[in-house]
A and B are shown apart, each in its own frame.
Chain A
Amino acid sequence: DIQMTQSPSSLSASVGDRVTITCRASQSISSFLNWYQQKPGKAPELLIYAASSLQSGVPSRFSGSGSGTGFTLTISSLHPEDFAVYYCQQSYSTPFTFGPGTKVDIK
């Protein structure tokens, strides 16, 4: 199975900050990497698919990059509604594994 790791596990930031979250895969997954946002008590929502493609309706302040084993999710300017948990997930092969999540909260 492909193992996914994320760093940091949590971070505190202020509105307007630039935030970067890193995701690493235990083997190369090409660009088969997705990012999700989950708010408390809600279902996850897809933000980025195929490492860098923005899901329809997602604000352009979200961007993704990377390939192979290293990936990043960047929020260019944090908005109040962005405080949430972010998960990466590989779709290269089953089982489709998720990272452990990164919690972004208010400084």
Chain B
Amino acid sequence: EVQLVESGGGLVQPGGSLRLSCAASGFTFNNYWIHWVRQAPGKGLVWVSRINSDGSSTDYADSVKGRFTISRDNAKNTLYLQMNSLRADDTAVYYCARDPFAMGTMGSWGQGTLVTVSS
């Protein structure tokens, strides 16, 4: 069974940093692209970033470019999102999602981790 478990969320002050993790199991992690998608409270889904299977290629939404960095450790079956210079509008539940086709489709999702940016 495909499992994705996010962790690392919490309360952080504006301008602060946080690193999210997404632990994968139940599939061959290094065969798949993985995405980060976020959802502000009561709002819709927003794609944040994606990384290809070997970590050599990444993409970001304009709203996080230069502040967030996606990475992966295929030996540990873990995805990361390093978030710097956090702002109040980064407050959201962050989901990691596996892309079954390497084409921008989010086929399996984790349960999400809440990031709150507030003073």
A46 touches B59 (CB 8 A): no
A97 touches B47 (CB 8 A): yes
A46 touches B105 (CB 8 A): yes
Tell me, in angstroms, the Cα distance from A55 to B106 when the chains sit together. Answer: 11
- Interface class of chain A by DSSP: loop
B50 touches A96 (CB 8 A): yes
The interface of chain B, by Cβ under 8 A from chain A, is 35, 37, 44-47, 50, 59-62, 95, 101, 103-112
B44 touches A101 (CB 8 A): yes
The interface of chain A, by Cβ under 8 A from chain B, is 1, 32, 34, 36, 38, 43-46, 49-50, 55, 87, 89-92, 94-101
A55-B107 contact, Cβ under 8 Å, with A87-B45, A95-B59 = yes
Sample of 20 more A-B contacts, CB < 8 Å, known A46-B105, A89-B45, A95-B61 = A32-B103, A43-B110, A43-B111, A44-B45, A44-B109, A46-B106, A49-B105, A49-B107, A87-B44, A89-B104, A91-B103, A94-B59, A94-B104, A95-B59, A95-B60, A96-B50, A98-B45, A98-B47, A99-B44, A101-B44
Taking the closest CB of chain A, its distance from the CB of B63, in whole angstroms, is 9
B45 touches A95 (CB 8 A): no
Residue of A38, A46, A99 touching B107 (CB-CB under 8 A): A46
Tell me, in angstroms, the Cα distance from A24 to B52 when the chains sit together. Answer: 28
**Across the A-B interface, the 9 shortest Cβ-Cβ residue pairs:** A91-B104, A43-B109, A96-B47, A94-B59, A98-B45, A96-B104, A95-B61, A49-B105, A101-B44
Most buried by A among B45, B59, B107, B111: B45
